[in-house]
Structure 1
C-alpha cells in the first residue's frame, strides 16, 4: 500500500526551536509507518532543510519538494509543529494554502488571530460562562503612563508579550515600582504588550480536536507550579511543575468546561488540535480564559499526549485522525 509523504515541519525563528525539535521527534516516532512516510524538515531564517547522514538537503519551496538520491519527492501533507513564528502565527499556513497542501493546524487567519492574546480575548467575549481578566494593551511606539496603568488595574499584574508563547518575556508585578522594568522586558519579545490583572485560582490546560468529524474535548490537566507562576522555566524544567492528568474536578464542572472550550473552538474557527489554558477562580470556580495555543507541544510528556492517553486513545491513532481529518 502506498504511503502518504508527510513533511513534519519543525524549528522556527524563536527561542522555542529546541522545544519544537522535541515535539517533532515524538510525532515522527508515533506516526504509523505503514500509512505515512515522514520527512522532518527543519525551518530556520536562512533555509528549510532535510537532514541526512551525509548532510543537509534544501527543500524546493516552489513546489514543496525534496530531491533525495536523484528522486524528486513531493510532499502530500504538512504536519506543523513549529512553536511561535512562522508555524503558530499563520505564515506557514498561508504558504501551504497557496500551493494547495493540506496541514494539521488552524488556518492562517485563526492562527494569526490566536497568536494575538488581546484580539483573541475580544473575540471570545460573551461566551456563556467565560470570563477574562481586566487588561490593558500597549504598543511599543506609544506613550506608556505608568500612573494610569497602576490606577486602572489592580495589583498584582501579569505583563506579557501580546504575540508570544511559552511565557517568554513574562513577569508578575506586585506594585508600581516593578512595572516599568517588566514592560521593557516584554517589549524585548514583541512590539505589543498585554497587562492583565492576576486571577487567583487553580490553573488548567485542556486539549480539544476535531476527530472523525466530531469536536472532541480531552481530559483537563491541572498545573501546580512551585514557582510564582507558570513561566518558561516552570514549563520546561523537570520537577518545577506538577501536572495532574486527568485533573481532579467534579463531573458537572468537567461538562461545563467542555461546553465553554467547545464554544471557544467553534467561535475562533479552529481546526485540528488546540490547547486552551484557563483558571478556575478561587471561591466561585468561575472559568477565566488565559489563551489558545494552536501548535501545542508534542514531546512524549507534553500536555496533549498526556491527555490523549488519559482519554484511552493511543497517540498514534490521535495523530492519524488529525491527518485524515485534514485531508
Structure 2
C-alpha cells in the first residue's frame, strides 16, 4: 500500500502560534511512519513555508497548497493535519480555503470552526439544545457602555472577555465598577466584540471530546484549580494552575458533564479534537466555550486525558488522518 502524504500544519497569526508549534511537533513525532510520509508546514502571517529534510524553508504554493522542492519534485498532500490554534486554523478561514482548492484536512469544517470561534454564537446555538451557560451581555466596539446597568443585570464579580480569541487573552475578572474601563480596553485590543458574563462560582472543568472510530467519546474531565483568580494565559501555559485528571466529581455529576459535553459536540456537528470548558455550580455544568483546535503539546490537557483514557497519541492522531482521507 502506498504511503499517504500528511502535512502537519502549524503556526498561526496570533500569539498562540508558539503553542501550535509545540502541538505540531508532538503530532509530527507521533504519526505512524509505516503508514504516512509526514511533513511540516508552517503558516505565519507573512510566510507560508514547508520544512524540508534539512530544516530549510521552502515557500508553499498558495494556489494549490503544494510545494516545489529543489530536486524538481512536487509534494502534494493527501491530508493536512490542522493544529493551528486561533486564526486562521481555528476560525474557519483555512478550512474554507482548503475546501475551495479541494484539499482534505482533519478536524471540523469551515462552518463549525467559524461558529465555535465566536463564543456568543456558540452559546446561543447550544442554548437551543438545552445546554446552560452564564448570563451575559454582548457589546460591539463604539457602543455606549453603562457600567451601572451591567452591574444591575450581571452583578459583581463578572468577566469581561473578547468574543473571539483563544488562550484566555484579553480576559479580566472585574470586581468593582471602577475596573470596567481597563477591562474593556484589554478585551477590545483582541476583538471588536466583547462578552461580559456573570462570574459563576464553582469547579472549572475542561472536557476533551473526540469522535474516535465512529463514536463520540469523552476522553476525560480535567479539574482546573487556578492559583490566580481564574484559568488565564499564565495558568494555561506557565504552570500557574493545578490540573487534576480525572476531576474530583461524584458519579452523578460526572455522568451529567459527560452527557452535556457529548450533546454539545454532536449538536454542533463537530469532528476531530475538541475541548470544552465548564463551570459546575450546584451540580449543573455551565458552558463557557468550545475549542476546536485545543493545545496538543505534551503539557496540554487533551494528550494527558488520552493517556489516562488509554488511547495512544499515535492512534488518536492516526484516527484523525484516516477520517480525513474518507471525506
Fold shared, TM-score > 0.5 on shorter chain = yes
CA distance in 1, matches of 2:249, 2:102: 43
Can you list the C-alpha shifts for 1:48-71, whole angstroms capped at 9, x where unaligned?
101343631111121211122210
2:299 is matched with 301
The answer to whether 1:266 aligns with 2:266 is yes
1:154 is matched with 155
Which deviates more, 302-311 or 38-47? 38-47
SS in 1 for 2:116: helix
1:228 is matched with 229
Can you list the C-alpha shifts for 1:224-266, whole angstroms capped at 9, x where unaligned?
111110000010003x111111222223322221111111111
- Determine if contact 1:90/1:110 at 8 Å carries over to the other structure: yes
CA RMSD of the aligned region, Å? Answer: 1.2
CA distance in 2, matches of 1:131, 1:100: 37
- Determine if contact 1:66/1:72 at 8 Å carries over to the other structure: yes
1:107 is matched with 109
1:59 is matched with 60
CA distance in 1, matches of 2:12, 2:273: 19
Unaligned runs of 5+ in 2: none
1:291 is matched with 289
The 5 A counterparts of 1:62-81 are 62-68=63-69, 69-81=71-83
1:37 is matched with 37
Can you list the C-alpha shifts for 1:272-299, whole angstroms capped at 9, x where unaligned?
1111110111xx2211111000000110
Can you list the C-alpha shifts for 1:144-189, whole angstroms capped at 9, x where unaligned?
2222222221100101110011100110010101011101110001
1:118 is matched with 120
CA distance in 2, matches of 1:38, 1:312: 24
- Determine if contact 1:16/1:84 at 8 Å carries over to the other structure: yes
TM-score normalised by L of structure 1:
0.96
CA distance in 2, matches of 1:51, 1:110: 29
SS in 2 for 1:131: coil
SS in 1 for 2:205: strand
CA distance in 1, matches of 2:190, 2:9: 23
The 5 A counterparts of 1:270-281 are 270-281=270-281
- Determine if contact 1:211/1:325 at 8 Å carries over to the other structure: no
Deviation of 1:121 after TM superposition, in Å, equals 0.7
- Determine if contact 1:213/1:325 at 8 Å carries over to the other structure: no
- Determine if contact 1:161/1:192 at 8 Å carries over to the other structure: yes
- Determine if contact 1:208/1:274 at 8 Å carries over to the other structure: yes
SS in 1 for 2:173: strand
CA distance in 2, matches of 1:85, 1:25: 19
- Determine if contact 1:160/1:195 at 8 Å carries over to the other structure: yes
2:28 is matched with 28
Can you list the C-alpha shifts for 1:22-56, whole angstroms capped at 9, x where unaligned?
10011111111111111111111122101343631
CA distance in 1, matches of 2:93, 2:103: 14
- Determine if contact 2:275/2:294 at 8 Å carries over to the other structure: yes
- Determine if contact 1:5/1:38 at 8 Å carries over to the other structure: yes
Can you list the C-alpha shifts for 1:180-232, whole angstroms capped at 9, x where unaligned?
11011100010001100100011100111111111111121111111110000
SS in 2 for 1:18: helix
1:143 is matched with 144
Which deviates more, 297-306 or 45-54? 45-54
CA distance in 2, matches of 1:71, 1:26: 27
Alignment: residue pair count: 323
